Amino acid sequence: MAYADGVTSPEVEIADVGASGFLADAKTRHADLKAMLDSSKDNLKMEAMKRIINMVAKGKDVSDLFPAVVKNVAAKNLELKKLVYVYLVRYAEEQQDLALLSISTFQRGLKVL
């Protein structure tokens, strides 16, 4: 039986479908999480970080959220800060340039303690 180029079996890869039920492109895939991370409310930031860490644990790539997550390293909420550091431990090596540019944010986060 013949399959499309590169396909060797009739299995189909399940696409990532957004909350609206439509396929999400790379730019809008995590727009809701970015908005939550930019919020002034700690409960929204916590919810976003919990979702992000959940996706990391499932092996999904959420490296595009690095800048939005790093901004929260200076948060006053200790639990939020811990989740941010869990994310950073995972992605700082991949995003070395952004991590270096974020040093001032890390320093600001240390002053909050």
Show me where the domains of the chain are located: 31-112
pLDDT tens, position by position, 30-57: 899 999 999 999 999 999 999 999 999 9
Tokens of 112: 């909050």
Which is nearest to 51 in space by CA: 37, 72, 70?
A: 37
- 109 touches 74 (CB < 8 A): yes
pLDDT band, very low/low/confident/very high, at 24 (cuts 50, 70, 90): low
pTM of the model: 0.69
Question: Is residue 16 over pLDDT 70?
Answer: no
Confidence at residue 9, expressed as pLDDT on a 0 to 100 scale:
46
**17 φ/ψ angles, rounded to the nearest 5 degrees:** -105, 130
pLDDT band at 95 (very low <50, low <70, confident <90, very high): confident
Return d(Cα 76, Cα 108) in angstroms, integer.
Answer: 11
What percentage of the chain carries pLDDT values higher than 90? 42
Q: Which residue has the higher pLDDT, 10 or 91?
A: 91
Q: Does pLDDT of 78 surpass 80? A: yes
Residue type, 11: E
SS3 23: strand
**Calculated CA dihedral for residues 53, 112, 71, 100, nearest 10 degrees:** -100
Is the pLDDT assigned to residue 11 strictly greater than 50? no
pLDDT tens digit sequence for 65-76: 999 998 898 888
Cβ–Cβ < 8 Å for 44, 69: no
